[in-house]
Amino acid sequence: MTTTVSASGLSLRYGATRALDDVSLRLTPGVTGLLGPNGAGKTTLLRVLATAVPADGGAFTVLGQDPGTAAGRQEVRRRLGYLPQTPGFHPDFTAFEFVDYVAILKELTDRGARHREVRRVLDQVDLSEVRGKRIRKLSGGMRQRVALAAALVGDPGFLVLDEPTVGLDPEQRMRFRELIAQAGEGRTVLLSTHQTEDVAMLCHRVLVMAGGAIRFDGTPAELTARAAGRVWNSTGRDPGAKAGWRTGTGSFRNVGNPPEGADLAEPTLEDGYLLTLDDAGVRAGVAA
Amino acid sequence: MSAVLEEAPVTERTAHSGGATSATLDLALFEARRLLTRIPMLLAFAAYVAWIVWRTPKFEDGFPALQNADRATQSGPLLVGLAVMLCANHAVLRSQRHDTERHFGVLVLTPGRRTAAHVLSVVPAVLLVAVGVAGQFGWEALRPGAVGTGSVAELLVGPLLVLLFGAVGVLLARLIPSGFAVPMAIVLFFFLFFAGAVPTGTGERGTRWLAPVVGEMSSGAIPSDLMDRPAAWHALYLLGLGLTVGLLAVVAGGGRGWALKGAVAAALALAVTGGVAQTSGLPAKTVVARAAATNNPEKQQTCVNRDGSTYCSFPEWQPRTATWASVVRHVQSLAGGRAHTQPVLVRQRIYATDGLYSDGAIDPSANPYQVTVGTGWGGNRVPEFSAAVSSVLVAGSEKATGGMCDGRMVTAMWLALSWQPDPMRSLRDVRLDDSVTGSAIVLSPTDPLQMTAGQTDVVRELLAKPQQSVAAKVKAHWAELTAPKVTSARVAELLGVAAPKEADKCD
């Protein structure tokens, strides 16, 4: 399969903090999820791959270009779509103007073609009806879709999405899932999120980060499989569990190393994620 | 059943056809559209157009000298310039204000080019002001009473000011990323201006030319070839300054490269060249030419004969001789005796020694029946010239009118004013204090005349009577009415109105 992004030994320090610690990865077309607790280095990794900040060490290529050189960086930016965490907007702009503005900054210079492209991506994110509305008058979900349209404009080969569903209600999140799935057809999408169900439903691959390093790199099924035999139900919180919580049925769901004869339960991707963090020495348990 | 046709995404080939330069221009256009629709810009342009519409018809009483009309286009664009500075600054700071830099920072167009686009975005405003300037000047030039020649360099000052102010707005945003920088800069500018820290200079040339707009003390006009304002150097200075500031903004915005450095150096060279050249001293040949025009104007003038009288003017004022002749004709038609057909010499005289930097008095001519006319016309200038013609016809020369403290003043003023469309208004206009009662100074192209309160009363009464009945009496008693030392009381008696309560005051 084509490798879109290839990184080896990426590192970055902010003072005494090691934000990225020898990160190596390869990304291929499709949606790759990036999970990790706050401060794990997800946004830093995304910003490095999006050429927003340079790494201290290591090397990487995006779509065959080396962002370490000025020319390579420009080429990467030409083919990159980036939706930052809590994106900013120009509230006085209409949705069309904002995406058009981004399209110009992406050097889409044929005016007619650019406007067609802006209409296409607004249509793709289902905002055709409100494209003439000022952004300040759009709902939070609509604004997020404007940001996604801005990331999609110009048909980028590599799409970086940093927690795009934060703050959205379930219906909006569902709609966003559709859009991201659609965006992942034929291009490489790196999706940073705290929503494990998004990863479970969207991603063909998942990375788990903690402490600036990649702690897991595999398929969602493989991450889920990490919790096989390590999730059980009990009538009370098992003191030996890494994490445990009372469920709606009144029983407790425990994650960790089950006692003998435990009533094992079907693991989820979230269980695998929690155990991966725990294995990495990151406290991520949930108390009842 | 319906079919959904999905549009194909823009491909690399079609999307990036023009590259960075094309994208910079596209962004400049985008920003320009937004800039022109900001509320301060709309208000500034509305005020600018209103200022043109209000000011142009009144300029130089509808008889503009185009060498002054060009300069009159320079102050209006200041308001637009300030609005451009404010809005361009606001636009540059938009990304910071709304935290879009994290996103835009990874897009293809570099911050330097984005800054360049902001600088270029002021160009349409510059062009609109150029249209305003052209409209204002064109309006003046098309007026039937327009004379003289305008300077393209003077006309460029307004648009170049807008370019400079816009560039300053962008540079300030790059240096001080705060929305308060421009308002503070404007306040500081006015504070320094009123505190006298902005160069005003002490002479016609010199440091005052470093200010963006260089006005003149004199409200009059002189022939365009005697003005010798370094307008072209000043335009070059402003252009160089605007480009330097704009290019420095691009550098401050992250622009790099030898081409940019070279452009900054070239722009700076333009500004320095224009700045130094405009402040250099006045050429000696201009000084000589001005002295000649002041002291011996006949050598530079052309004369025409109309109705037996001669009208000599600087070449640019030739079209106006017919208007002067009309006044002479009106006054002479009411005069009696020899004055009715007396040929006069109307000579245009100016004080050009200091250019437009200051005004000077013109001495009355001692030549018989020679009347001085200035370069201005329309409004008060018409009754003033009419008073000069009538007083010369009554007294014999301009020099002699200085002693016209007696009843001749009544005859002269009636001759000067009675043919005017609104004689009472002309009486008010021709008097320094705009009064129609009491004593007052009467303005004239040379030395002013003096009317006593009694003479004013008699003139006012005469102007209220039918013109032809008074004219008949003036013609009938011309010799006595124009005899030296005739009293105002006697004049009143001869012309059939009440005698003044007070006697003439001849010291």
B84 occurs within a structural domain: yes
**Whether residues B64 and B184 fall in one domain:** yes
Segments forming the whole domain that contains residue B375 = 291-495
**CB-based contact B19 A89, cutoff 8 Å:** no
pLDDT of B3 above 70: no
**CB-based contact A154 B23, cutoff 8 Å:** no
Q: What is the phi/psi pair of residue B274, to 5°?
A: -65, -40
**Whether residues B179 and B303 fall in one domain:** no
* Mean pLDDT, residues B269-288 taken together: 91
B402-455 tens-digit pLDDT = 888 899 999 999 999 999 999 999 999 999 988 988 888 898 888 888 899 999
Mutate to test the interface with B, among A94, A101, A109 (most CBs of B within 10 A): A109
B230 occurs within a structural domain: yes
Calpha distance B263→B258 (Å, rounded): 8
B150/B10: higher pLDDT: B150
B359-407 tens-digit pLDDT = 777 889 999 999 999 999 988 899 999 999 999 999 999 999 888 889 9
pLDDT at position A98:
96
What angle is formed at CA A119 by the lines to CA B102 and CA B17, rounded to 5 degrees? Answer: 75
**CB-based contact B102 A84, cutoff 8 Å:** yes
How far A153 CA lies from chain B's nearest CA (Å)? 8
Residue of A110, A117, A150 lying closest to B9 (CB–CB): A117
* Mean pLDDT, residues A190-205 taken together: 93
In this prediction the ipTM stands at 0.87
**CB-based contact A90 B106, cutoff 8 Å:** no
H or E segment and range at residue B138:
helix B123-142
Residue of B9, B23, B98 lying closest to A104 (CB–CB): B23
pTM, full prediction: 0.87
Residues of A in contact with B102 (CB under 8 A): 52, 84, 87-88
Contacts of B46 by beta carbon, 8 Å cutoff, 6+ apart: none
pLDDT of B504 above 80: no
**Whether residues B242 and B341 fall in one domain:** no
How far B248 CA lies from chain A's nearest CA (Å)? 21
Residues of A in contact with B33 (CB under 8 A): none
pLDDT at position B2:
38
Assess contact for A274 and A268: CB atoms under 8 A: no
pLDDT at position A1:
64
**CB-based contact B10 A123, cutoff 8 Å:** no
Task: Give the pairing of strands A213-218 and A205-210.
Answer: antiparallel
pLDDT at position A66:
92
Residue A44, token pair as written in the block: 């830093």
- Enumerate the β-bridge partners of residue B404: none
**Whether residues B237 and B297 fall in one domain:** no
Residues of A in contact with B95 (CB under 8 A): 88
Mutate to test the interface with B, among A94, A104, A116, A155 (most CBs of B within 10 A): A104
B41 occurs within a structural domain: yes
| pLDDT band with cut points at 50, 70 and 90 for residue B507 | low
**CB-based contact A106 B108, cutoff 8 Å:** yes
**Whether residues B231 and B83 fall in one domain:** yes
pLDDT at position B6:
46
**Whether residues B257 and B175 fall in one domain:** yes
Mutate to test the interface with A, among B7, B10, B39 (most CBs of A within 10 A): B10
Domain tally, chain B: 2
Alpha helices, DSSP H only, in B335-487?
381-395, 398-401, 408-417, 423-430, 453-464, 467-476, 478-481
Calpha distance A253→A231 (Å, rounded): 7
* Mean pLDDT, residues A65-69 taken together: 91
B335-358 tens-digit pLDDT = 988 999 999 999 999 988 887 777
**CB-based contact A91 B94, cutoff 8 Å:** no
Residues of B in contact with A163 (CB under 8 A): none
pLDDT of A286 above 70: no
**CB-based contact B12 A117, cutoff 8 Å:** no
**Whether residues B186 and B328 fall in one domain:** no
**CB-based contact A88 B30, cutoff 8 Å:** no
Chain B residues bordering chain A (beta-carbon distance below 8 Å): 7, 9-12, 14-20, 22-23, 26-27, 30, 94-95, 98-109, 114
**CB-based contact A108 B10, cutoff 8 Å:** yes
Domain boundary among B228, B250, B281: B281
**CB-based contact B16 A78, cutoff 8 Å:** yes
Q: What is the largest CA-CA distance in chain A?
A: 69
**Whether residues B261 and B303 fall in one domain:** no
Calpha distance B233→B195 (Å, rounded): 27
Domain boundary among B257, B281, B305: B281
| pLDDT band with cut points at 50, 70 and 90 for residue B245 | very high
Mean pLDDT score of chain B, rounded to an integer? 90
* Mean pLDDT, residues B202-213 taken together: 79
Residue B13, token pair as written in the block: 């080939």
Assess contact for A276 and A231: CB atoms under 8 A: no
A7-56 tens-digit pLDDT = 999 999 988 888 999 999 999 999 999 999 988 999 999 999 999 999 99
pLDDT at position B120:
98
**Whether residues B271 and B297 fall in one domain:** no
Task: Using CA coordinates, name the residue in chain A closest to B106.
Answer: A52
Calpha distance B61→B380 (Å, rounded): 8
Measured CA distances, A200 to A179, A221, A273, B427 (Å): 15, 8, 11, 97
* Mean pLDDT, residues B494-505 taken together: 84
**Whether residues B472 and B398 fall in one domain:** yes
Residue owning tokens 């490798």: A3
B202 occurs within a structural domain: no
Chains A and B form CB pairs within 8 A to the count of 110
pLDDT at position B197:
66
| pLDDT band with cut points at 50, 70 and 90 for residue A283 | low
Nearest CA to B234 out of B271, B283, B189 is that of B271
Q: Is B90 helix (H, G, I), strand (E, B) or coil?
A: helix
| pLDDT band with cut points at 50, 70 and 90 for residue B4 | very low
Chain A residues bordering chain B (beta-carbon distance below 8 Å): 50-52, 74, 77-80, 82-84, 87-91, 97, 100-102, 104-111, 113-114, 116-117, 119-120, 123, 147, 150, 153-155
| pLDDT band with cut points at 50, 70 and 90 for residue B13 | very low
How far A203 CA lies from chain B's nearest CA (Å)? 23
* Mean pLDDT, residues A136-157 taken together: 93
pLDDT of B256 above 70: yes
B281/B161: higher pLDDT: B161
A118/B194: higher pLDDT: A118
| pLDDT band with cut points at 50, 70 and 90 for residue B1 | very low
pLDDT at position B500:
86
| pLDDT band with cut points at 50, 70 and 90 for residue B61 | confident
What's the gap between Cα B324 and its chain centre? Answer: 23
pLDDT of B161 above 70: yes
B307 occurs within a structural domain: yes
A119 CB neighbour count, 10 Å cutoff: 17
pLDDT of A194 above 70: yes
**Whether residues B366 and B237 fall in one domain:** no
Assess contact for A269 and A200: CB atoms under 8 A: yes
B419 occurs within a structural domain: yes
B459 occurs within a structural domain: yes
B505 occurs within a structural domain: no
B26-45 tens-digit pLDDT = 999 999 999 999 999 999 99
pLDDT of B283 above 90: no
pLDDT at position B361:
79
Share of chain B above pLDDT 90, in %: 67
pLDDT of B199 above 80: no
Helices and strands: H and E segment counts in chain A = 9, 13
Nearest CA to B412 out of B349, B469, B495 is that of B495
**Whether residues B373 and B477 fall in one domain:** yes
How far A115 CA lies from chain B's nearest CA (Å)? 10
Domain boundary among B244, B262, B281: B281
* Mean pLDDT, residues B198-226 taken together: 79
**CB-based contact B17 A91, cutoff 8 Å:** no
Residue B359, token pair as written in the block: 């005004």
B329/B200: higher pLDDT: B329
Residues of A in contact with B28 (CB under 8 A): none
Task: Using CA coordinates, name the residue in chain A closest to B93.
Answer: A90
H or E segment and range at residue A192:
strand A188-192
pLDDT at position A17:
87
B164-197 tens-digit pLDDT = 999 999 999 999 988 899 999 888 877 877 776 6
Residue of A97, A104, A155 lying closest to B27 (CB–CB): A104
How far A178 CA lies from chain B's nearest CA (Å)? 17
